[in-house]
Chains A and B, each alone.
Chain A
Amino acid sequence: MAMVSDAPKGNFRLSMLVYDTRYRSFTIQVIVLGLFIAFVAWLLLNLQANLAAKDKDISYSFLFNRAGYDIDQQLIPYTNDSTHGRALFVGLFNTLAVSIAACFAATLIGVTAGVLRLSKNWIVGRLMTVYIEVFRNVPLLLWILLAFSIFAQVMPEPKDFKVTQEMVDQGLEPPAQKIFFDSIAITNRGTNVPAPLLDRPLGSVSVLDVPINLSVLAAIAVIWGSFWVNGRIRASAKAIQEDTGIRPVTWWKSLLVLIVPTTALLLALGFHLEVPAFAADENGVSKGFNFVGGISLAHSFTALFLALSIYHGTYIAEAVRGGILAISRGQTEAAYALGLRPNRTMNLIILPQALRVIVPPLISQYLNITKNSTLGMAISYLDLKGTLGGITLNQTGRELECMLLMMLIYLILSLTISLGMNIFNNSVKLKER
């Protein structure tokens, strides 16, 4: 008969709270909690005393007051009669716009530069090394200011694009020309790009005071649908391949499914691009002082976008390079032994594995791009920091409320991005038991 004895119980003595490792962590946590509460209480008491001394209170009612300032880039309708709360959303959408655009461009630049830096081509490899080292070792703020200065100082004035009577008579060209198939005009006031227009739009409905463009919605639905159908086609091709070993030819089906519905929709809606141009009389002589039509992008947006994507592109390039180098040479050799050609080796063997290494640093770069978009403040880009944390703050004098709200929004943005990317990361992660 086995005698199982419990651990000696002993009497609990007070000193065990300090000396006994079983209880000590409890003691420490209680002390830390006490200190933390005391610290927070101290901060709050100070806050109360300071607010009382300045005769202020904490109130977010200013968000419903008239803002009274203009924002030159608006993705939702806004006038200076709108509220501060609406200005906040305009700023938030501006932050999102420049961040998302820069994330895409930086990924494109980064992947290209990272792959090219590993290229066997000596000149291209060195050039990419120089690009990466130069851009990542100099502060981002410098690139933003430099890009802005170049736009504002070097680019021609709008009047340089004008065609005068003399030019028509003598067959001369104006001193400045539009670029990219005569569609984009970069002037020192802004960049004029073609605007996508619809002759027969579907109109819009308003949900909770936010207008929703039905045409855009329809386009998104059609594009998503054709991608879904394409996915089905590929999946069935794969099933046939696994069954019979012969993969049916699918490329023309995919092409058809991806292109035809979207084109048909665009034709039905009467899609065309409105190229920015000067108004002109019958002889081709320009009238007016600036471009008419198209979308005018402010330099603050373009400069911030360029600087963010080029600067963070270097970091993404290094992540891509590191990811590719992390895949051992044996993988390449095994692929060659199976008879795969270099291109297919890269696409089927190396990149899928490298992706797992690349995604985590990529996430942190996307976060950094979003956070660094606040630097647009230096060139007066009115993002969230510029509206809520800038003009609204200065006008209302409510530093505390504005700063706390702004930090909260950025925190939510960051956490959302890292949540979304972590879900993606889990889907590409090596499935382990």
Chain B
Amino acid sequence: MSNSHFVRTQMLPPQKPPVGETGVIKWMRENLFSNWFNTLLTFLGLWAVYALVSGSAPWFLNGVWTASSVDECRAIIAASAGEGASGACWAMINERWHQFMFGFFDREEYWRPLLAFGLLFVALSPVLYFNLRRPTMIMTAGAGVVLVMLLWAVGTDGWHLSLAAVLMAALAALAWVAPKKLLWVTLAFPATAFFLLWGGSVWAPIGVMLGFGIAVLVWRSLVSVIGVSPAAGVAALTALIWWGFVQGHVTGFLANALPFFSLPAEDSDRFGGFLLSFVIGVSAISASLPIGILLALGRRSDMFLIKTLSVGFIEFVRGVPLITMLFTASLLLQYFLPPQTNFDLILRVIILVSLFASAYIAEVIRGGLAALPRGQQEAADSLGLDYWQAQRLIIMPQALKVAIPGIVSSFIGLFKDTTLVALVGLADPLQGVTKVVKADIAWKAAYWEPFIFVGAIFFIFCFSMSRYSMYLEQKLKTDHR
């Protein structure tokens, strides 16, 4: 009776799970073949991928990068991949990429738009990361490094390359020492960019900026005496007088007296390609932000007249297609301005596109304002803040935060819509430049390459912007849900 029962003294090792419940097989069973419909979808998807890849891969793989014409491309492809094989002729992009990027800008002057592009990021950094030393510095320095590389890539002469490098290094140092001071770069950016892009005498943009300076001075000195709105009115009037009657004489005199501060002037018809898209997109979105904020506030205003005007403007602009606005710029604007006023088509397009974008931005910001609980406004009122103080300190910071994704997607939409300017005769990258490039008999037969090149660049910019706005949305979400 020694062994009538048995008690195991050691633990059994755990049994392995069934093969179908682990690893790849389980994953595939759950995600690809969970039922007959899912299995069907999987095979359909695999077939679609196969069809896409097998259809397009040879064309991409046979691509030729160096040739002088499409015929030469075809000859090379026929020689390497056999008769009848098709392939991309990237040589066209290789030869003409600069026109897709810069339009018809002088090649020696490519450093100017690039420098403006680099400064754009420096100007953005204090807006995105106000008074945060590290990110401001990183963004400025990063923009500097990329800028120098780009400048080197387009073959800028040493003098301008080192000028840009020194400038960007100085700005990065400024970002490290006094990140707040970088805001001055932001304020000066419009005039700087205008000077860099269009060239001419430095005094004209300075004169325009002086008008803003004068307005701020007048406003500062009057605001405590007569209140916010009247002071703003007087300041605007002073600035208008300066721009209308005084500035021309002063800057004309200065340009004559000190002629050496100038760059070779570039006509607007030399602007094209992505340079044009960026100029229109960036200036329209930055001009439309303040107008959009005012319109959104106007739409929520208690004052009947202001509300009516804002709603009327917003709904009118949102109700008509962008093309009609562009044609207004090219055909109609001349009817509504004083006779013999004739200014640049790009400028007219920028103005109309800004007005167009501001209506959309206004709706985005109105969404942000609507998301705020009424208590915020009431709390501000009970603290004794006046309307503008409450907007500036309490309402707008919160509303804009909510509106950021919407603003970014408006910008993406606007950036894509800049391709429409081709319809009023400007050289956008998609149609305008492509038409010019294909006017050359050597590249006439290249149908798909420009589409793919321009589309890829648009995709890179728009996709990264939309990802950035999703990241911002996550980061700025402060409610704990």
Q: A139-B419, A142-B458, A375-B420 are in contact. List 17 more A-B contacts (CB 8 A).
A: A18-B226, A25-B303, A28-B303, A32-B306, A33-B305, A120-B30, A121-B38, A124-B45, A133-B463, A134-B459, A137-B412, A137-B463, A142-B430, A378-B422, A399-B335, A400-B332, A403-B324
A29 is an interface residue with CB less than 8 A from chain B: yes
A138 touches B416 (CB 8 A): yes
> Which of B319, B339, B462 has the most CB atoms of chain A within a 10 A radius of its CB?
B319
> Which of A25, A138, A375 has the most CB atoms of chain B within a 10 A radius of its CB?
A138
**Which of the residues A121, A149, A374, A414 comes within 8 Å of B32, measured between beta carbons?**
A121
Which residues of A are at the interface with B, using a C-beta cutoff of 8 A?
A: 18-19, 25, 28-29, 31-33, 36, 43, 46-47, 49-51, 53, 116, 119-124, 127, 133-134, 136-142, 145-146, 149, 153, 367, 371-372, 374-375, 377-378, 385, 389, 399-400, 403, 406-407, 410-411, 414-415
**Which of the residues A18, A127, A140, A146 comes within 8 Å of B45, measured between beta carbons?**
A127
Q: How far is the CA of A418 from the CA of B63 in the complex (A)?
A: 48
A141 touches B41 (CB 8 A): no
B338 is an interface residue with CB less than 8 A from chain A: yes
B45 touches A142 (CB 8 A): no
> Can you name 26 A-B pairs with beta carbons within 8 Å?
A25-B303, A50-B335, A51-B335, A119-B38, A121-B31, A121-B41, A124-B44, A124-B45, A127-B48, A127-B49, A138-B459, A139-B430, A139-B455, A139-B458, A140-B416, A142-B458, A374-B321, A374-B324, A378-B423, A385-B323, A399-B332, A399-B335, A407-B320, A410-B324, A414-B319, A414-B320
Residue of B nearest to A370 (CB): B321
Residue of B nearest to A126 (CB): B45
Chain B residues positioned under 8 Å from A18 (CB to CB)? 226-227, 230
Main secondary structure of the interface of B (DSSP, over half): helix
Q: How far is the CA of A47 from the CA of B5 in the complex (A)?
A: 112
B319 touches A411 (CB 8 A): yes
> Which of A142, A375, A414 has the most CB atoms of chain B within a 10 A radius of its CB?
A142
B328 is an interface residue with CB less than 8 A from chain A: yes
A142-B455 in contact given A43-B336, A53-B339 (Cβ < 8 Å): yes
Residue of B nearest to A140 (CB): B416
**Which of the residues B30, B34, B44, B229 comes within 8 Å of A28, measured between beta carbons?**
B229
Chain A residues positioned under 8 Å from B332 (CB to CB)? 399-400, 403
B327 is an interface residue with CB less than 8 A from chain A: yes
**Which of the residues B38, B331, B462 comes within 8 Å of A137, measured between beta carbons?**
B462
Query: Which B residues between 34 and 55 are near A, CB-CB below 8 angstroms?
Result: 34, 38, 41-42, 44-46, 48-49
Q: How far is the CA of A336 from the CA of B462 in the complex (A)?
A: 40
1/0 contact string of B441-481 vs chain A (CB within 8 Å) = 00000011001001100110011001000000000000000
B416 touches A123 (CB 8 A): no
B62 is an interface residue with CB less than 8 A from chain A: no
B458 touches A137 (CB 8 A): yes
1/0 contact string of B416-443 vs chain A (CB within 8 Å) = 1101101100000011000000000000
Q: Write the nearest CB–CB distance from A129 to chain B, whole angstroms.
A: 12
Chain B residues positioned under 8 Å from A32 (CB to CB)? 305-306, 309
Which residues of B are at the interface with A, using a C-beta cutoff of 8 A?
A: 30-32, 34, 38, 41-42, 44-46, 48-49, 226-227, 229-230, 233, 302-306, 309, 315-316, 318-324, 327-328, 331-332, 334-339, 412, 416-417, 419-420, 422-423, 430-431, 447-448, 451, 454-455, 458-459, 462-463, 466
Q: Write the nearest CB–CB distance from A219 to chain B, whole angstroms.
A: 33
B309 touches A36 (CB 8 A): yes
Chain B residues positioned under 8 Å from A33 (CB to CB)? 305
**Which of the residues A139, A399, A400 comes within 8 Å of B416, measured between beta carbons?**
A139
A46-B30 in contact given A18-B226, A124-B42 (Cβ < 8 Å): no
Residue of A nearest to B455 (CB): A138
Residue of B nearest to A393 (CB): B331
> Which of A32, A43, A123, A371 has the most CB atoms of chain B within a 10 A radius of its CB?
A123
B462 touches A46 (CB 8 A): no
A399-B230 in contact given A123-B45, A138-B416 (Cβ < 8 Å): no
A49 touches B338 (CB 8 A): yes
Q: How far is the CA of A29 from the CA of B229 in the complex (A)?
A: 12
**Which of the residues B38, B46, B227 comes within 8 Å of A19, measured between beta carbons?**
B227
Chain B residues positioned under 8 Å from A46 (CB to CB)? 335-339
Q: Write the nearest CB–CB distance from A138 to chain B, whole angstroms.
A: 5
Q: Write the nearest CB–CB distance from B229 to chain A, whole angstroms.
A: 6
Q: How far is the CA of A220 from the CA of B409 in the complex (A)?
A: 41
B458 touches A138 (CB 8 A): yes
B321 touches A120 (CB 8 A): no
Residue of B nearest to A29 (CB): B305
Residue of B nearest to A415 (CB): B319
Chain A residues positioned under 8 Å from B31 (CB to CB)? 120-122
A141 touches B419 (CB 8 A): yes
Q: Write the nearest CB–CB distance from A367 to chain B, whole angstroms.
A: 8
> Which of A29, A47, A137, A140 has the most CB atoms of chain B within a 10 A radius of its CB?
A137
Chain A residues positioned under 8 Å from B41 (CB to CB)? 116, 119, 121, 123-124
Chain A residues positioned under 8 Å from B454 (CB to CB)? 142
B337 touches A377 (CB 8 A): no
A146 touches B451 (CB 8 A): yes
Q: How far is the CA of A385 from the CA of B451 in the complex (A)?
A: 25
